[in-house]
Amino acid sequence: MKRTILFLPLLVVPALLSRAEVKKIELPLEPAKFKEGKGAELAQAHCFTCHSVEYIATQPVMPRKFWEATVLKMRDKYAAPLPEDAVQPLIDYLTENYGKK
Ligand code: HEC
């Protein structure tokens, strides 16, 4: 009996300690979104699939030519599944919102 009482804290203390070690989980901030505007839903649908909006938002302000080349590169080199009728509206949207006209 005496032995049991002596051993009890050995069981209880680690149990309490491990309970105290509550993991804190930090949720990531709301993911960034494409700027609103005509065609934003296309970018949201077709560019978000492989990378975050930062890839686009952190590019220097570039002319239409750059955005055209980028969209075509995504399609031709990286196999982005872009429907033909989304290509021009996407270039328009990117130039309008992330480029210079
Ligand atoms: C099928 C996957 C895929 C899709 C969809 C996609 N991309 Fe990409 N994108 C990539 C890959 C892969 C890279 C290169 C990543 C690296 O170098 O780290 C990249 C890189 C980029 C870059 C960085 C510059 C560069 O040329 O490497 C930009 C800007 C970009 N993408 C824009 C777009 C836009 C705009 C769209 C929507 C029209 C889009 N991406 C859709 C795969 C994709």
Please list, in sequence order, all residues whose beta carbon lies within 8 angstroms of the beta carbon of residue 55, skipping any fewer than 6 positions away.
Answer: 47
Whether residue 1 has pLDDT greater than 60:
no
Whether residue 94 has pLDDT greater than 60:
yes
Whether residue 8 has pLDDT greater than 60:
yes
Give me the pLDDT at residue 66, please: 97
Rounded Cα distance between 9 and 18, Å, is 14
* Mean pLDDT for the stretch of residues 75-101: 95
Residues with CB under 6 A from ligand 1: 43, 46-47, 49-51, 55-56, 59, 70-71, 73-74, 78-80, 90, 94
Rounded Cα distance between 97 and 76, Å, is 23
Q: Indicate which residue's Cα is closest to atom 7 of ligand 1.
A: 74
Whether residue 9 has pLDDT greater than 90:
no
Give me the pLDDT at residue 13, please: 66
